[in-house]
Structure 1
Amino acid sequence: MPKNLEASIEIAASPAQVWSVLTDLGRISEFSPTTRKMIALGGVRTGTFTLNINKDGWKIWPTTSRIVRFEPNQVFAFQMNENRTVWSYELEPTATGTRVTESRVVAPKGVPAPVRGMINVALGGEQQFEANLVSGMRETLARVKAAAER
């Protein structure tokens, strides 16, 4: 059964600086090792749909999502339409900057069987896929940190 996943990082920048990096969807490929594009179909705000292009090695696939939380300098979250997971970035001010927590939360109904089948066939199975997701989260957060601290 798919698990909820989480990774965090401390960034020596204000929540506003980090927010401006995280919500600049045109820069997603600079940060994410998997997401090559995230195109907002309208302004970046709660309710906006996005078209996403993902790549892992030779495998390329599209996904879609909807922004479900957009609270400036606090929370940016989107729900993947294909698997119902919610990805979020929560920003918390600290004495030295901002703590950012990236998470993937699985819907109570779980991931649909066809998506789980695709993960098992094309992406190495759930355990490997989720390990890769956590690794990707850490890589994304490290890249966001580098950009926000420049």
Structure 2
Amino acid sequence: MTIIDNNPLFTLTERIEIAADPAAVYDVVSDLARSGEWSPECRGGTWSGAPGAVGSVFRGENYRAEDVVGWAPLVRGTWYTEAEVVEADGARTFRWAMLTHTGATQSSVWGFRVEPAGSGSVLHHEFEMSQATEGIHEIVRDLDEAARARFVTEWGAKLVSDVRQTLARIKRVVEDEVEAARPALGEAVAR
């Protein structure tokens, strides 16, 4: 058994408090076409099917710089992925599973979970890769076990960093939108 056979291979959950109600947070995070506003890799994309609905497929445009786990044989520059929405309850949980190049569902699932907290929300960003995807298998195909272990360690650290950056950016986007939607002080006094 190699490190790539670990189950799960990657799993993480990070959270952040956001000064906005859960519905406002959910509306933003379930709109994957906007992910270019917060994701370190995804620049946005297009939907096949109703945006954000279970069964709909999102085709994401992604970009990876040369220095990201720079020694590993990763796709660099622009590349595309497809993911199918697997859970969308419209208020609390939004999850999507990555698809293979032939459209099969992989055990690589990303998601957001929103909970009320006082006058705002807590947003959880979650990821689990139960089994290595076809992309991971391609990356490690020609690596020895020591290099595979190094890749899993460095890729895991990159995922944590990306998720934390994503949450901080989503917080800024949502709170800025809430602030922009508030009536100006002069308007509130005039009412």
TM-score normalised by L of structure 2: 0.70
Q: Give the distance between the partners of 2:62 and 2:112, measured in 1 at CA.
A: 19
What does 1:92-131 correspond to in 2, within 5 Å?
92-107=115-130, 110-112=131-133, 114-120=134-140, 125-131=151-157
Query: Are 1:145 and 2:171 an aligned pair?
Result: yes
Query: Structure 2 regions of 5+ residues with no counterpart?
Result: 1-5, 67-75, 101-105, 144-149, 177-191
Name the structure where strand makes up a greater proportion of residues. 1
Q: Secondary structure at the match of 1:46?
A: coil
User: Residue 118 of structure 1: CA displacement?
Assistant: 3.5
Q: Give the distance between the partners of 1:119 and 1:10, measured in 2 at CA.
A: 35
Query: Structure 1 regions of 5+ residues with no counterpart?
Result: none
Q: Give the distance between the partners of 1:17 and 1:141, measured in 2 at CA.
A: 15
| 4+ runs deviating over 2 angstroms | 114-121
Matched pairs, number? 145
The share of aligned pairs that are identical, in percent, is 29
Q: Give the distance between the partners of 2:139 and 2:119, measured in 1 at CA.
A: 39
What does 1:60-79 correspond to in 2, within 5 Å?
60-79=78-97
Select 2:41's aligned residue among 34, 42, 49. 34
CA distances 1:13-56 after superposition (whole Å, capped 9, x unpaired): 00011112112223110110111123211212001011112211
CA distances 1:43-71 after superposition (whole Å, capped 9, x unpaired): 12001011112211051222111000001
Contact 2:32-2:58 within 8 A present in 1 as well: no
Select 2:17's aligned residue among 4, 7, 10. 10
Q: Give the distance between the partners of 1:119 and 1:102, measured in 2 at CA.
A: 25
Contact 1:119-1:129 within 8 A present in 2 as well: no
Q: Secondary structure at the match of 2:122?
A: strand
